[in-house]
Structure 1
Amino acid sequence: MNRLTIRRINELNVLREVFNQTPTSRADVAKKLGLTKSTVYNIFTQLENDNLVYDIGQGNSTSSGGRKPVLTNFNAQAGYTINTKINSNSVSCMANWLDGSIIDHKEFPTEGKEASQQLLALYSGIKLMELDNSDLMGISVAIDGAVKNNQIVCAVKNDLANFDLVQVIQSRFNVPVIVENEANLAALAIRDFSDREIESAAAVSLFDRVGVGMIIDGQLYSGKNSQAGEIGNARYLGLGSSQPTALDEVGSDQAVINNLTDLKGKPVVIADIKRWYDLEDEDTLEVLKNFQASLSIILQNILLLFDPEKVVLSSKVLRAIPELLPEVEDVLSNVVNHPINIEMADSTNNDNLLGGCALITRSILELPKVELKFKKRTVPSVD
């Protein structure tokens, strides 16, 4: 290993410490990493020149006295990222500082279902999220589909795979672009925005279809073909049909909406489903029974195969009708003989955007696999 390699490793380790421990001091970083003070001081100077750290004043001296240490912060506002998701009828966009703090979050409708129209909405949304007085450092795009080597392999919107999405966005904004499966990004958000170290977790997305993102041994697991977690394709008997039925067809929010639309003969929204559930409408109860059965199958598989520390669910139906989840947990208690940690996501559409923020920021800082502590907070934008 040559000196330049060792120097770069030391630089990245120092940057990681400042990112995670901000505010900190040069002396504390040197002690934590076992580096000489001169090495750390030189690296801090370089990080200052790169606008990644800044001094904020003096801290308290130790009990034995001596000079007060100079405290240094990670400069989260050295730049920002824009993190997006292509939905069925809209594009979600979030602007974040480099520590993950949320600057702004908006939804932009799409004019049609074609991929070209969705990409136009994506481009317009990113343009509207740009800040005037700060540097855009990177863009992430969450999609409902499989991604390998930063290229779309397949997507729910079949024609989306016909576009080199990364090249399309990079050519317009001239910054690094990462595209990833939306459930995988939600799993990264569980790990990187947690207040404690997470070694194993599963993010279950039930929006347009069923998808699972998994953290195993602290890292995202996507499988040989980058299609791990595509459990919505699995078919089972006993889900409202005499034939084997795919979980996607009964177990997603969109499936519930589609099935009730067919039964009622008119467009249906989540508020309708909640109202009909409260009124004990027979059609609604039957559709939701199959939804619950599908969710029980999904969670049984996850808990028995991977035994994660926590499972986080993202679903508009479950947020509207939280009473559905305890009934599923009762079923699981007969299958899993230990306490289980199942939570609802804080919101229905933030986690995959936060995961995208963590992924692209790690790429920008060249810290792809180390533990980083991102901030889940909302802050005002720059003027």
Structure 2
Amino acid sequence: MGMEQRSLNRDQLHDLNLKLVLQQIINHPATSRIEISHELELHKSTISSLYNTLMAKQLLTEIGQGAASNVGGRKPTMVTVNRDYGYTVTFDLGYRHLHATANNIDTTIIEYQRIDIVDQPITVMVAKCQAFLAKIASEVTTVNGLLGICFSIHGIIKDNQILQSPWIDMQDVDLVRVFETQYHVPVLLENEANLSAIYARDFSTDQPYRSFVTLSIHRGIGAGIILDQQLSRGENGRGGEIGKTLTLLGPNTAGQSVESLCSEDALITRIENAKQLEHLDRTAIIKLFEAGDRDTERILRQACSVVAGLIFNVVTMLDPQAVFINSPLIEGLPELMDEIRGDYQDIAQTDFPINLIPRTQYVTLLGGCSLITHHVLNLDDYELRFQQGEVAASISEN
């Protein structure tokens, strides 16, 4: 019995050390065995054996020589993750567009597409996803091909199932079952705001925060909550549904939900009503604001004060180190950030880091890519820092 017990533990230890070596190599994209052995405080022979295991799986690739140590001797061989090990695909099932990326295992973007799907049923969206997967499979050659799929959902997810999808009628389509059956890879579903938070955690190399909240302001408003590097989903996947919270500001707006005042759709509707116009979109609103339109300015400034109040409440409740905002509208009108920061300071009487997440069209996709990449490498609970998802190949819009 004793012997069996010991060998099991040795296997477990080997497995753990293997994960730690892979984590080191992902987080330090050009490193050497000697550096890994120093970092992990493991014997060189142990590292060599783990390294050989990862090489045999074709997970690593050697990238030439590093500098020799100051005492001379052989130059170390530098190593990085083998980009051609396989790829993942992430879909963001938006209301107006389906966004898709294929990413190498090191998260570089192979291809990004934005596909128009206004008023299309979920069955059409599924077919478009399958077409994208077929296109990538026919064009990309890697050791293992497709490794996993992630779906970003603008709704509530619990235990990898959709509990609520306010903008898209899912018509009893079980995405996990459909795609796992067809492609035989893991399929993960996650809430869009949570993926924004994962992006801010895993792709910002200079981001010093271990606890922060991201606010996603799109058709609705949601928050992704990271506390001590861990995503906090709440008991039923409803953590961060802050668009539903009530505003306490002003006689006209008290008791209304934040979402009904400040989501992008709400702002567009309010400006349309004020201007007696129809069919405005984000671009039109940005133009009106920049042209100094009084109604647009008034409505957007009021929204900034509501968002600042929301941030104040979030900071009071969760005590994060910072708040990030993911909003294409605010990205288009960055001066609104100054407004939000100023309003926050008026309420809180103190400064607090409130930052805009740049390149909004990639944020949830790269968050999803990180989630599925962690999963397929069996590194679900390991901290990984990816390089800012550089774009490896074509970016096309259909």
- TM-score with structure 2 setting the length: 0.89
Identical-pair percentage: 29
Matching residue's letter, 1:6: L
Matching residue's letter, 2:10: R
Q: How many residues align?
A: 382
1:123 aligned onto 2:130: yes
1:146 aligned onto 2:156: yes
Decide whether the 8 Å contact of 2:205 with 2:387 is kept in 1: no
1: CA distance between counterparts of 2:362 and 2:210? 21
Query: What secondary structure does 2:219 align onto?
Result: coil
1:178 aligned onto 2:188: yes
1:260 aligned onto 2:260: no
Equivalent residues in 2 for 1:44-193, closer than 5 Å: 44-110=51-117, 112-130=119-137, 131-134=139-142, 135-157=145-167, 159-160=169-170, 162-193=172-203
- TM-score with structure 1 setting the length: 0.92
Query: What secondary structure does 2:169 align onto?
Result: helix
Decide whether the 8 Å contact of 1:207 with 1:315 is kept in 2: yes
Query: What secondary structure does 1:224 align onto?
Result: coil
Decide whether the 8 Å contact of 1:203 with 1:214 is kept in 2: yes
2: CA distance between counterparts of 1:27 and 1:69? 7
1:92: Cα distance to partner?
0.5
1:249: Cα distance to partner?
1.0
Name the structure 1 match of 2:223: 212
Name the structure 2 match of 1:297: 309
Decide whether the 8 Å contact of 2:64 with 2:78 is kept in 1: yes
Change (3 A) 1:290 1:55: same
Decide whether the 8 Å contact of 1:103 with 1:378 is kept in 2: no
Q: Deviations over 1:204-249 (max 9, x none)?
A: 1111100000110111111111111101111235468467211111
**Gap regions ≥5 residues in structure 2:** 1-7
Query: What secondary structure does 2:163 align onto?
Result: strand
2: CA distance between counterparts of 1:7 and 1:120? 42
Q: Deviations over 1:168-206 (max 9, x none)?
A: 222232221111001100101111011145301211111
Q: Deviations over 1:261-320 (max 9, x none)?
A: 445251111222123224444443443244223212221112222332322212222123
Matching residue's letter, 1:174: H
Matching residue's letter, 1:246: S
Decide whether the 8 Å contact of 1:25 with 1:71 is kept in 2: yes
1: CA distance between counterparts of 2:347 and 2:118? 46
Change (3 A) 1:152 1:240: farther
Decide whether the 8 Å contact of 2:337 with 2:356 is kept in 1: no
Matching residue's letter, 2:159: N
2: CA distance between counterparts of 1:328 and 1:60? 48
Name the structure 1 match of 2:3: none
Moved more, 373-382 or 182-191: 373-382
Name the structure 2 match of 1:375: 387
2: CA distance between counterparts of 1:208 and 1:54? 43
